[in-house]
Amino acid sequence: MGQQRPLVLEREAKIASLLSGAVDRRLEASGVLAGDGCFYVIFDNAPDIGRLGTGLRREAGGNFLISQERGERAGFEDIAHDVAAGRYYVLIEASSRGAGFMAKVQEYDDRFAYRGSAWLDFPLDGPNKGLEGLTCVHRADRTYLLGLCEGNRCKDGREGRRPGGGRIQVFERGGRQWDRVGTIRLPASLWFEDYSSLSVAGDHMVVVSQASSALWVGRLQPSSWELADDEGVWVFPPDREGRTVYCNVEGVSWVAPDRVVVVSDRAKREGQDQQCRAKDQSIHVFTIPGLS
């Protein structure tokens, strides 16, 4: 994959510190979307949608939660925007359907009023290793949702942790659900243990990994679901002792051609070192140095 360069932190903040009355609230950030001059954040443990100013300053105002009374109450993983139709989609990782499991999306209008939900027609191994990332792409006047599998080869367990099998499923809206119409295969040389979010701007794609604390950038072919270019891997910066501190990266969105916004989930109570708590439940803006 070539040289693994560190990302450059521009600014970051604990999400609760930006919201009035939320200092002690658990905000398990799981997805982020840059747009409309702000950052929209969704949470695994709550249906409300956060709206944060891009400066990440509480005193600047413009930071609040958009209350949601309808639809599911938890299990949200990412958020996507269909600019052409004025629709927002929030991903639910996996739910029971028949004898198995599938992901689904909840749909909102341009003011975040709930409009309903629809399945993403792709069978999953189980409820805990489903689709983790979601983005919306327009091609030839058609709208597609791209769903990123958490595990390699879209598998759970040991097979899902074996690197080299990153997969993105491509969906187009059918009569009653989103039908799978293609698959994007990430490079076989990509060493990520898991995948937690993606974002596409034009043909420019970014994918982040929580377990590997890194992101990958590439380009899609303009008229197919094949990769045109592999631009490499950048790692989230460690602390002064060289320890991983961005341990819970869950969401990513393009801000500019060389800049992304990222959110981090709550640190795990067991199995993660203490330094992981310093960056959890937070929002971060990074520059990707050397990106052409």
Residue 161 · residue 124 · CB < 8 Å: no
Query: In the chain, where are the structural domains located?
Result: 5-287
Instruction: Dihedral sign for Cα 139, 145, 148, 149, please.
Output: negative
208 to 48, 73, 79, 110, 245: CA distances (angstroms)? 24, 25, 15, 27, 15
Nearest to 2 by CA among 191, 161, 154: 191
Query: Tens-digit pLDDT profile for the chain (292 aa)?
Result: 446 799 999 999 999 999 987 766 789 999 999 999 999 999 999 999 999 999 999 877 789 999 999 989 888 999 999 999 999 999 998 888 888 899 999 999 999 999 999 999 999 987 777 899 999 999 999 999 999 999 999 999 899 999 999 999 999 999 999 999 999 999 999 999 999 999 999 999 999 999 999 999 999 999 899 999 999 999 999 999 999 999 999 999 999 999 999 999 999 888 788 899 999 999 999 999 998 6
User: What is the per-residue pLDDT for 224?
Assistant: 94
Kindly state which CATH superfamily the domain 5-287 is placed in.
Glycosyl hydrolase domain; family 43 (2.115.10.20)
234 to 29, 123, 153, 224: CA distances (angstroms)? 22, 31, 22, 26
Residue 153 · residue 97 · CB < 8 Å: no
The number of beta carbons lying within 10 Å of the beta carbon of residue 107 is 17
> pTM of the prediction?
0.95
